[in-house]
Amino acid sequence: MFYYGIEDPSHSEQYSGRSADGDLGINIIYPTMINVFYITPTTSRSEQLLLSLPGNIGLVFGAILLISFGSLVGHWKWSLVGSWIGMTIFGGLMAMVTPTNKSMMIAFTFLEQTFFGWAQYESIAFTQLGVHQHDLGMSGGLAGVARYAGGSLAQAIYVSILANTQAARAAVSVPAAVLQAGGSATMASEILAAFPSGALALAKVPGVNAQILGAAGSAYQFAYAHALSITALSSLAFGGVGLICCLLCENIDAKMNDTTNIFLENDVNAAHNEYH
């Protein structure tokens, strides 16, 4: 059953588990899927909460894998590149979304976030160990600025692509579905205008029946599926830029050891510091 009357689902964060340093693409795409495709007025609260878990569990699982096996795998630069490629691939595979392939999308979300969990926390090590110790403050500051500024820009792009693509597709597919189900052109335009207002507004459209609403609802869902697909494909561009950055990173293998380079100034080993 289609949940008529979803108001701006692309902006919903109720089920996204979004964090400031999260992968913004999946945190827009997957919550929109939940709100448009998977939740109906009869969906229990427990099921709604369960639907929010794949991305969050995947993120934590990826971080745990890095903690547990990062040193064993070694080759830090290439493990970062590999995790980034995995994240990009499964983020792009979200473009296979349809209103009915729920299990596949949950699996892709989990795997994408697992790779992201590894890449995210490993990238922090590169931020700190890829520069001279005197530049740690600048490195951390620039990384934070890049993350928040880049994240805001990416979010604006994703939301714009999703909203504009969905509106353009729905403006064509919904009226066509209404006409095919026996409705008139006037009814089609009224139904399209009533969708954002919810089920009550749709029920007030003169002459509407369950068959017409079902056809319009299905077309509206597939318009969202198309828009989500385009949004997922657009994430590949960001993934490509990030991959280039990963390849340009300094290899930190020599620094990933048990050696302490800097000691506290009030420590017995303070004399080992080169600068005070």
Listed by start position, the domains of the chain span 9-256
Confirm whether pTM is higher than 0.85: no
Report the distance separating Cα 261 and Cα 244, nearest Å.
Answer: 30
Q: What is the CATH number of domain 9-256?
A: 1.20.1250
In tens, the pLDDT along 23-72 reads 678 989 999 999 999 988 888 999 999 999 999 999 999 999 999 999 89
Report the distance separating Cα 16 and Cα 141, nearest Å.
Answer: 27
- Token pair, residue 195, equals 């969708």
DSSP state of 164: H
State the Cα torsion 10-16-19-25 to the nearest 10°: -50
In our burial notation (b when 16+ CB lie closer than 10 A, e otherwise), range 133-145 reads: eeeeeebeeebee
Per-residue confidence in pLDDT tens, the chain, 276 aa:
444 444 445 444 433 333 333 467 898 999 999 999 998 888 899 999 999 999 999 999 999 999 999 989 989 999 999 999 999 999 999 999 999 999 999 999 999 999 999 999 998 888 888 777 777 778 888 888 888 888 888 889 999 999 999 999 999 999 999 999 988 899 999 998 888 877 788 888 898 888 999 999 999 999 999 999 999 999 999 999 999 989 998 888 888 887 766 677 677 777 777 765
Burial of 272 (0-12, 13-18, 19+ CB in 10 A): exposed
- Token pair, residue 243, equals 């991959």
- Token pair, residue 100, equals 């009915």
Report the distance separating Cα 30 and Cα 45, nearest Å.
Answer: 18
Task: Give the rounded percent of residues in the chain with a pLDDT score beyond 90.
Answer: 51
Mean per-residue pLDDT over the chain, rounded:
85
CB 139 within 8 A of CB 87: no
